[in-house]
Structure 1
Amino acid sequence: MFKWLLLFAGAGLLYLWIKGKKQAELSAGNASKPNKNKPERAPTAPEVMVQCQYCKVHLPRSESFTCDERFYCSTEHLQALDSQGWLGDAQWRISPNQDVRPENVQPDLVVIHHISLPPGAFRNQSSSQHIVDFFQNKLDPNRHPYFAEIAGQKVSSHFLITRSGELIQFVSTQNKAWHAGKSNFLGRERCNDFSIGIELEGDGDTPFEAAQYLVLAKLIKKLMSTYPLLQFAGHSDIAPDRKTDPGISFDWKKFQKETAISTEKLPFGLSSR
């Protein structure tokens, strides 16, 4: 009797072992098959890393601030003048019309100009791209008779502020832009050597836009944080026999009020001229 009990017990254990083995094989097979009722999870793509143009730190692209296809780690760096003389929140359109400043010379003068291509065209159409082309030596002389007249000129400026308030930079503030020509500032000749040129899209008769004054004031404050000795003049102040810009339409009093610079930094005064 005892033998039969052992036989039955052994058979039961064998049955349970075989059943458990089959169950394990079945579970393993199911694990390798996709669950049609459960959506597959797409593989996570690695985060794209970019470099801050200002401080060169690396950071995820999703966390960066961008301008003109450049990346910055903060709005502070985006809006600052970097160590190479480029402003982060400006459009960069590099001009070939530039060269290096004399050794150990830092800019201490801002010259304000006006420009319109063709003359007066900004009143009826968007024409700022012509100015960009002109400063980059890409202006098509066949597009307008006036363009043919100036086709041989090679000029530039550090900055342009369009009628809509766009800020475009052509030359690093550390380099010379070809904007002043033959000039004299309080007895100092060759003003390109020590000045920063800012062009306002407009002419001598039409008032400049509020957006232009606003962008100009912000630009001046940024420049002064790097170059605290800056003084300010119009092109007509340093080349009175040749130039009339920025002209009587430029409001020097409004400029001084919005920039909060002292009148001592405006040696030619606040009257329109």
Structure 2
Amino acid sequence: MNIDPATGWCQQAQHCPSPNFNERPEAEISLLVIHNISLPPGQFNTGRVQQFFQNQLDTSAHPFFGAIAELRVSAHFLIERDGAVTQFVSCLQRAWHAGVSSFEGRETCNDFSIGIELEGTDFEPFTDAQYLALAQLTRQLQARYPAITPSRICGHSDIAPVRKTDPGPHFDWARYRASVAANEGEQ
């Protein structure tokens, strides 16, 4: 995977542009935030996450969708259960993934972070394909944005601990970090 420095788009990802973004302030991209999402909750491969991030979700299709009908959110990337990567927002733009948040005393993490959603829940493990794709994408993001060091990779729960629990207790941080570190030299 390669991140185009001029556009901020990953050339190997499926592109599914979201309207839910705005310009970043002049700030170095220095944080990677890992999330989880499934729509409806606990159901996978529905295409609903993509619809949600594009403001095209049919809110009458499931009772849960009414609760999120007015939300306007996005992430830079989604990694599906099979490892497929979709990009919604250029890395050069501010995706709306973190909400009210703080990292090391600095608020509004959307200003300086990249958000990656893993298709999943807090209640079950992620797939081998997701860990592989996440490690590959992480290495490319670190190559393009060197301020994203291992200590500046966190979960949504770390930057919004009262509000959020993702990526959840089934996310294997040790496995993920080892996978990223084992192939640091690969491009």
TM over 0.5: yes
TM alignment of 1:199-210, pairs within 5 A: 199-210=117-128
Q: How many residues align?
A: 178
SS of the counterpart of 1:260?
helix
Q: Which amino acid aligns with 1:254?
A: R
Q: Structure 2: where are the runs of 5+ without partners? A: 183-187
- The corresponding residue for 2:9 is 86
- Which deviations, in whole Å up to 9, do the C-alpha atoms of 1:68-89 show, x marking residues without a partner? xxxxxxxxxxx31112100000
User: Within the alignment, does 1:217 sit opposite 2:138 as a pair?
Assistant: no
- The corresponding residue for 2:174 is 253
- The corresponding residue for 1:108 is 30
- The corresponding residue for 2:163 is 242
Superposed displacement of residue 106, structure 1: 2.1
- The corresponding residue for 2:39 is 117
Q: Which amino acid aligns with 2:88?
A: F
Contact between 1:204 and 1:247, CA under 8 Å: does it hold in 2? Answer: yes
Decide which structure has greater helix share.
1
- Find the aligned partners of 1:239 and 1:114 in 2 and give their Cα distance: 14
Q: Which amino acid aligns with 2:13?
A: A
User: Within the alignment, does 1:143 sit opposite 2:30 as a pair?
Assistant: no
Q: Which amino acid aligns with 2:21?
A: Q
SS of the counterpart of 1:181?
coil
Contact between 1:112 and 1:233, CA under 8 Å: does it hold in 2? Answer: yes
- The corresponding residue for 2:185 is none
- Find the aligned partners of 2:66 and 2:158 in 1 and give their Cα distance: 28
Q: Which amino acid aligns with 2:8?
A: G
- The corresponding residue for 1:99 is 22
TM alignment of 1:12-27, pairs within 5 A: none
2:82 to 138, 156, 164: 164
- Find the aligned partners of 1:118 and 1:246 in 2 and give their Cα distance: 17
- Which deviations, in whole Å up to 9, do the C-alpha atoms of 1:89-139 show, x marking residues without a partner? 000000000001102x121000000001001112xxx22x10000000000
Contact between 1:106 and 1:174, CA under 8 Å: does it hold in 2? Answer: no
- Which deviations, in whole Å up to 9, do the C-alpha atoms of 1:229-262 show, x marking residues without a partner? 102010000000000000001000001100008x
Contact between 1:179 and 1:192, CA under 8 Å: does it hold in 2? Answer: yes
Q: Which amino acid aligns with 2:74?
A: S
Structure 1 runs of 4+ aligned residues shifted over 6 Å read none
- For CA contacts below 8 A with separation 6 or more, give which structure has more relative contact order: 2
SS of the counterpart of 1:148?
helix
SS of the counterpart of 2:131?
helix
User: Within the alignment, does 1:192 sit opposite 2:100 as a pair?
Assistant: no
- Find the aligned partners of 1:221 and 1:85 in 2 and give their Cα distance: 15
TM-score by length of 1: 0.64
> RMSD over aligned Cα, in angstroms?
0.9
Between structure 1 and structure 2, the one with the greater Rg is: 1
